[in-house]
Amino acid sequence: RREDLWVREGKILNPEKLFFDEKGSADVQLDCKGSIIAPGFIDVQINGGFGVDFSLATDDFKSGIDLVSQKILSHGVTSFCPTLVTSPPSVYHQVLPQINVRNGGAHGAGILAGAHLEGPFISKEKKGAHPEHCIRTFEAGAFQDLLATYGSLDCVRIVTLAPEIKRSSEVIRELTKRGICVSLGHSVANLSQAEEAVQHGATFITHLFNAMLPFHHRDPGIVGLLTSDKIPAGRRVFYGMISDGIHTNPAALRIAHRAHPSGLVLVTDAIAGMGLAPGRHTLGQQVVEIDGLNTYIAGTKTLSGSVATMDACVRHFLEATGCSVETALEAASLHPAQLLGIEHKKGTLDYDSDADFLMLNDSLYVQATYIAGEEVWRQDVLGM
């Protein structure tokens, strides 16, 4: 739409009320020079970046998270879920108390809903870049096991687990009861196991196609959830995709998008090496080698996260699928907000929602980033 965006006190305003009820007008007017205004991006799977690894327990962990939240503003991310890969319990116990839900602002993107814990209750066969010696199963008191491993769920928003693990059903039910989103991933689950997990409350799939059984026509596995007829009425299954041109072939991206467009959530799965030169970096307990856009566990060809930024993922998704600009932008804003249950305030430009938005040029490069109506980042030369 070609129209003005009205903002007051950090919220998007309905201008009709201002005109007719208050007889008011704008105090400040900004010429956007024909830019696209879009909701701020929300990254629900980011392991770190710019030399910071969220899965490493360090004394200056808070300054690391501050650095990443500041740097991702230039890539259009206004909210994120810091993600920890499979780690020893001591790491969760040290790191999680240091992750605080907070609003975004000039200091950086907001941590709106909490952390994403990817593991350690996953399949050894599909561990990907996760260290095998840290992978765990559920014992008799399954949920108590999980609590003992993580230490606390106070600032946890998403847990990725493998639904075929024994006793996972009761864990999924308990997490869902507490408002925590359960994601299926790093798994050898068949379709009926995945459907059962969704019936117990799971709503997300961690990086579709990666670290799961490949699609097979007789049993499509977790991928089959995209077209399953066993999803409870009124429920939507969302799925993350790393749209970096490396993790998923463009044809696979197109298949997923055409099968279930309203569930697609773009994630970066970015690691500490994002924004840095190629070479050796970390991902939790592992050493990772970056070669161009490829990231491998050192000495192997096992992919380990990405170094893609969210705006690059949006542009690649648009190009690969040929979808509309609106659709590409919604996959990084509206859909993650719906997944987290915060679409009433984030992920749209609807009246009364938070004024977290971006100015983009026609090629979807970020020109400026706003949080709560305040400019928090701007490209030095507009139009570059």
**Short-list 338, 319, 335, CA closest to 254:** 319
Catalytic residue among 43, 269, 311, 356: 269
Alpha carbons within 13 angstroms on the beta-carbon side of residue 100 total 8
Q: Which amino acid is at 110?
A: G
d(CA 317, CA 320): 5
Bridge pairing between strands 52-53 and 48-49 = antiparallel
Tell me the binding residues for substrate. 129, 210-211, 218, 247, 303-305
Residue type for 381, please?
V
**CB of 39 within 8 A of CB of 334?**
yes
Quickly list DSSP for 213-254: PPP-SS--GGGGGGG-S-SPTT---EEEEE-SSSSS-HHHHH
CB 259 within 8 A of CB 283: no
Cα dihedral sign, 322-333-337-148: positive
CA distances from 225 to 61, 205, 358 (A): 37, 9, 32
Q: For residue 136, what are its two tokens?
A: 């765990």
**269 carries an active-site annotation:** yes
Structure token digits, residue 314:
């949006």
Amino acid at 21: D
Annotated binding site: which residue ranges?
118, 129, 186, 207, 210-211, 218, 247, 303-305
Omega prior to 163 cis, within 30 of 0 = no
Give the integer Cα–Cα distance in Å for 277 and 259.
37
Binding-site residue set for Zn(2+): 118, 186, 207
Place of tokens 């859909």: 335
Catalytic residues: 269
